Structure 1
Amino acid sequence: MPRTTIRIWIALSALLITGIVLTQIYWMRNEYELQERQFLHTVTKALHKVASRVAQPEKDSPVDVQVIAHSPADYLVNLNVPFDSQKLNLHLDSELALHQIQTPFYYGLYNTRVRQIIYQDPNQQTTDPLSESRVVKPIPSPYYFVVHFPGQVRYLTQQMDFEILLSTIVLLLTAFFVYFFYGLFRQKSRTEEQREFMSNMTHELQTPIASIRLAADILLSPKIIEQPERMRKYVRMVQEETMRLQQQVETVLTVARTEDSNGIKLHPICIDMHELLYHLAERHGDYLHLELDAQHAIIQADRMHLVNVIGNLVDNALKYTPKNPLIRLTTHNENGQLVVMVQDNGIGIAPEHQPHIFDAYYRAPGANAQSVKGFGLGLSYVQKIIKAHHWKITLHSTLGQGTSFRIRIPQHTAHAQKEIRVKSEE
């Protein structure tokens, strides 16, 4: 499927999912507001009846009831005549139950002595410090009471159980499809990366195989015996290309092993990091500079994997430094750690690609030219080995100025292994 079509599908899917989520939010909000209006209307109607039943009007005096809703949870009921406060609780309970308002409430009476509203519930009597803010000023008469529903929001939410269940099902289905499409596109991206890896691997393996075949054909020539220097040259070529093939195969197999349940099996031994770096430098030219300042450089690691890690970082630095390469290999001790740094003056890595460079098969755009060899597995291999040793690796890169990798090894390991080596020498 073309990339343009995939992007269109992604955009349409995102719009559809966003529309579904917004529709659910809009529907639930409207449903809650409807429940709130119904609650307010029902409570207002019930309080009108309560006020009419507890009112004690004088002879031929009409009863005027005013119910003021400050919010769906707070109501003030004002009368123009005295009312029987002793019967208020009974009529509130019965009338609210008759109107199917099944949520706790408090009611308050204005106390002229303390000039406060005293809230009451079936168990206790308390002064509500917020009561004054709930009362409309000025009050037309002292004959009023207030009712407060503390669990109004939860009560309304419980009335929407079925709607909430439907919305939850819809959102779960939406989340499932999002996850499904995400996995589908990720798998497609993974397939493309593996296809590119196979292309790169084919090219990388053909080069040393062709060199070995050429060298073998020349070595089979009878005249080569008469030219020992030339024969040694082609023997070295076979050895170097064989080692190159072996390293490539080990990298592929190591990455493959890390993806199964067994992971990487390490065989750690005591290693002098400085000695290892000196041996590594002998394989390279003057472009590689050593600055080994660490006072404690004895560590415990799998030697083969450690050599491959440092070698991969150096080779990677060479690949992406097209002109006048200058690679620095440095060590120092910092905050109880042994820090090994590989720094180059190459093309650098753009910020948007830096989070992905440790992904298997990933190669930054522009890195797929035939002059830049590799499978796209080198840095993935490096990170897996670092994690297997419980070390840390960090990247710092500026586009056009170069890249540096820092490997941080806990220094307590280094000290312990140094003591082990000293004891073994004694």
Structure 2
Amino acid sequence: MDTKSIKIVVVIGFLAIAGVLGLQSYWLYQTFENEQDRLDESIHIALLEVVKQLYRDQPLPQNNPVKRISADYYAVNTEAEIDASLLEYFLEVELARRAVNLDFEYAIYNCYDNEMVYGSYVSVSGEEPRESEYFPKLDDYVYYFAVRFPGRTKFVVSSLSEWILLTVLLIVVLAIYVYSVFAFSRQHRYASMQRDFINAMAHEFKTPLSSIRLASAYLIEQPEVINDDRNLKYAKALISSSDRLNSEVERILELARVEARSLPLKMESVSFTSLCEEVLDGLRLSYQKVQFDVVGKAGEVVADPIHLKNILFNLIDNAAKYGNGEVRIQCEVRRDGTVIRVEDNGTGIPVAERKRVFGKFYRSSTREEAKGFGLGLYYVSHVVKAHGWKIEVADSDLGGTAIYIIIPKS
């Protein structure tokens, strides 16, 4: 994924987070308000019933006797003297009947002394009575009592515990997502820096490697070297090492193009048998003790010849390095396409590691002694996918590993 795509994903992710948090906050606020209204309605009805119970034989006030002064403070107009002993009893009964399980305190207005006479603090929750708060007087009423619910807000919040828990869990999940996004962005930035550094170093190596190769080629043609077996051996080793290092540099640069999705494919009809023999001719010099066996005479496949040659080179080179002296290459033409199989008689790859074998810089635990950077199969898998083919790993009939490339029929 390129930097632009990552930025788009991050922006969309943060917009989604903001939207989810906004909706959750709105729902939580609406639920809180609805719970407030429900509780207020329950208290209102309970206080009306208290007035009815106190004055069964007397007419009730024409206007609504219950007035909400503040969030937790209510005044109730009775228009008659109040029996304090009955008031507390009816308050407890009616509030409990409507599931208003709140501590409350009340006071009765004494019109003769023009002051609020504190009644009592009724603890429903069993908590210790709190210090009584000031009960303000009202000029609108002559006979009334006032009720205060000190724990009203706490009661409403506790009724929303499930919503609050879900909100907290959502915030935790979103926080993990945000952290993951930042961690991924940082990792992507470091990976880009690493890739740029490797590519820059690979480009820097190409010039001196070319110089070494040219100098070695010139050196090996000199009479002093040709006539001296030891010098000739050293010169050939120098050429072989520079060629091998140059091939690794080319592979790194090719991988950079593959990862950047700028791998140009020049598709054409290619003779697999001829291409395979060409690759084997180059490898037989390096693996003189390895027996290469090409089974079957395949027809032509549609592919990029250069990249197909690189695929075969990497697969056969891997099989030769990790095998025990025998490599088999087979191309089978089927009705639905062509299957290329490269297998060896080595120690094989454990089943648990087969999903990771195409990873970058991956080295099998059974093949640590072999040379290489772990880029061969990584490159092969990317080129195979670029062609639209499939690649699989399985056990070989020879006892080692078999790599299958499945080319669907065009």
Scaled by the length of structure 1, what TM-score is found? Answer: 0.48
Query: Which structure ranks higher in relative contact order (CA pairs < 8 Å, sequence separation ≥ 6)?
Result: 1
Q: Which has the larger radius of gyration?
A: 2
Scaled by the length of structure 2, what TM-score is found? Answer: 0.50
